Structure 1
């Protein structure tokens, strides 16, 4: 399993802003599962697995269906654990909401994984006036899950941007000007010179 990263993202706040560039990316299959998901009942509200997976799948679609590149890439996401904070004692003992996911990205054209080992991402709720004292006091479990799922989708996007910059995952070949072979280019230049 590849690296662990922590993210406290802005959820859906940036969805109306220009999209970050991801080259030839278009979302193909959006698969979210939770076969071994864990939580701690003493600090977390519990929700059914189906609700967990549907919330994250919807948040991923909300963010990535906007991309219309020429090549499909597939997501395989496993929810490993979550905390939907219960009410605690503000500010000292108020638990914070979190989600742990593992992500694999597939390149459809190559029929291969882009990351050989799933990357693990740990996502935290955004800190604001409500969450400082614990969202267990101010939000329902459904709202907490929606916000965490949107943060997870943004964390995935941040990871893709980083990998694209580092590894060139989503190079858009259509954006590269096609240059003629050197010999043909020389012929064209000669023809222009003679015409002049």
Structure 2
């Protein structure tokens, strides 16, 4: 059974390179945006249920790196500086659950604010709060605790958080002197705090499909291990 689950995970992970490869592309500019201060504040964020523990300094380093990789001057070189401030509010780094029955998911909840450098003006009137799941490869019936270690989970969540920040910027490109964009929905990025708004998305009770039960429990076996 364990080998079967691992094979499912490896097959799905191999199939999804596109989202994670996008940093290699030269992005369209977002108005005049150039990254100024890249600030991540982490002060004992809420650790959700069924989660591995992460030190504040680890989250801070992961978020600063992810924002720099995505929004730094190697990719965006407009003629005005803007500051990005991120506050990590809550997270779940999933432990391995029970395959095909109970598989908690990894999430990161954070808020982000944008400031124009020369006037120190805050650009967003309201707090922007975002929940991200790990990017791509959300494996049905299999949480990432089976296939990824703590560092890999943090890297994936931070990567997707930076993606979410860029998407927010593009949707509100007029803040940076550009034209707002209409982007397709991404089910790994949600507004708000999913631990409050819809905790079932993090730790669902799952019923395996009948065809999987048939595969993993051929005639004469006793049931899911």
Scaled to the shorter chain, the TM-score interval is 0.7 to 0.9
Q: How many matched pairs?
A: 159
Instruction: Write out aligned runs for 1:111-126 (5 A).
Output: 111-126=120-135
What corresponds to 1:56 in structure 2?
A: 63
Question: How far 1:35 sits from its partner (Å)?
Answer: 1.5
What corresponds to 2:119 in structure 1?
A: 110
Q: How many Å separate the matches in 1 of 2:122 and 2:138?
A: 41
Q: Is 2:77 the counterpart of 1:71?
A: no
What corresponds to 2:176 in structure 1?
A: 170
Q: How many Å separate the matches in 2 of 1:129 and 1:115?
A: 31
Indicate the RMSD between aligned Cα atoms, in angstroms: 1.7
Q: Is 2:168 the counterpart of 1:159?
A: yes
Question: How far 1:127 sits from its partner (Å)?
Answer: 4.5
What corresponds to 1:26 in structure 2?
A: 34
Consecutive unaligned residues in structure 2, runs of 5 or more: 1-17, 179-225
Question: How far 1:83 sits from its partner (Å)?
Answer: 0.6
Deviations 1:57-110 (A, max 9, x none): 100000011211110100111000011110001223111000000001001122
Normalised by the length of structure 2, the TM-score is: 0.66
Q: Is 2:45 the counterpart of 1:46?
A: no
Normalised by the length of structure 1, the TM-score is: 0.76
Consecutive unaligned residues in structure 1, runs of 5 or more: 1-9, 173-196
